[in-house]
A and B are shown apart, each in its own frame.
Chain A
């Protein structure tokens, strides 16, 4: 289904849940990204220096899941005291960040440290791009400030769940096309060099 060598596609599929549910507007995406990235880094460090040494197989994953859930629930409580409106609309999704595949990315054996940081950066870019697109088109605002002139209604569908699916599918298609083009160019260059 996905090209594992394409890091963009890899991050998109691992983080599909936060990318769909946390991109209704920029502020929500900022908080969801922050929580997801922090949990990913903490879980990765704990796994690398403690868990990996003592546990293996299923038990290792169960401990990691329990830890990630504890962290996501704590984040929910912290966000609730500062941004209650966001918790009302996305609270359950923030709690569930603890069981999103993306947060276990750093625990995968084959992933190098450099790739891990690169993937986190890609995830941040994806979150903000999708949220910016959806907030601008769906609500006509930027960080809550109206920027579309009065009289031109926003494209309400983009603020709805369907808008999240459509935006993400377009982003995915763009990634595939650009990545393939870049690969073709690289192949041509290496061919020319060998000639």
Chain B
């Protein structure tokens, strides 16, 4: 496998943005409700994540800014643009526990370009990592939605407490992906 392919698969599996870096976990836990709905919803979030990260990184690289304070604001602005389009498409509009739902997606949208930037890759490798991480996010989103759906349908009392059960299942999933370390 070429280096770029390794970076791509690593970002999908062993360096998964949700299961390993924990970013976007709250978004997944709150928004992924059932498999059918999450296929569509997850796709929208993935496209937004991919576009926001690429937009932010392209602006930072082309402007020649060093890693630092200014790049953080560029990532925030690119994330807010993506959030705007997500809201136009009907997502993240209402509130969650009194907070605007856009706060749920900001950690992952800002975190992905920050992670990519800190790894000091060249532009083509950055694109592979961003694409891999976005696909990794989509896979996590639909797998967790499927697990949540199953947990909600169970009759067992202890599993019905689906918050802890879901987190435990995510932990096991996070353990499983480590098995792909041979990549």
A residues at B contact (CB < 8 Å): 1-2, 4, 9-10, 13-14, 16-17, 20-21, 58, 61-62, 65-66, 69, 73, 91-93, 95-96, 99-101, 104, 108-111, 157, 160-166, 168-170, 172-173, 176
Contacts and interface: CB of A to CB of B under 8 A. Distances in A.
23 contacts: A1-B162, A4-B97, A13-B29, A13-B163, A21-B21, A61-B103, A65-B76, A65-B103, A73-B69, A73-B72, A96-B110, A99-B107, A99-B110, A100-B107, A110-B98, A164-B171, A165-B167, A165-B168, A165-B170, A166-B171, A169-B165, A170-B168, A172-B164
- In the complex, which of the residues A1, A2, A21 has the most CB atoms of chain B within 10 Å of its own CB atom? A1
B99 A96 contact: no
A162 B175 contact: yes
Given A92-B111, A169-B165, A162 B174 contact: yes
Contact of A176 (B21, B23, B164): B164
A9 B20 contact: no
Given A13-B26, A110-B98, A161-B22, A169 B167 contact: yes
B26 A17 contact: yes
A14 B162 CA distance: 17
B80 interface: yes
Contacts of B98: 108-111
Contacts of A92: 111, 114-115, 118
B30 A1 contact: yes
Contact of A17 (B25, B30, B114, B163): B25
Contacts of A176: 161, 163-164
Tell me what chain A mostly uses at the interface: helix, strand, loop, or mixed: helix
B118 A91 contact: yes
Contacts, number: 114
B166 to A, nearest CB: 8
Interface of B: 19-23, 25-26, 29-30, 69, 72-73, 76, 80, 97-100, 102-104, 106-107, 110-111, 114-115, 118, 158, 161-168, 170-172, 174-175, 178
A162 B172 contact: yes
Nearest to B109: A99
A170 B111 contact: no
Contacts of B170: 165
Given A65-B106, A69-B72, A95-B72, A1 B163 contact: yes
Nearest to A12: B163
A166 to B, nearest CB: 4
A96 B168 contact: no
Contacts of B168: 165-166, 169-170
Nearest to B167: A169
B76 to A, nearest CB: 6
Contacts of A73: 69, 72
A99 B171 contact: no
Contact of A108 (B80, B99, B164): B99
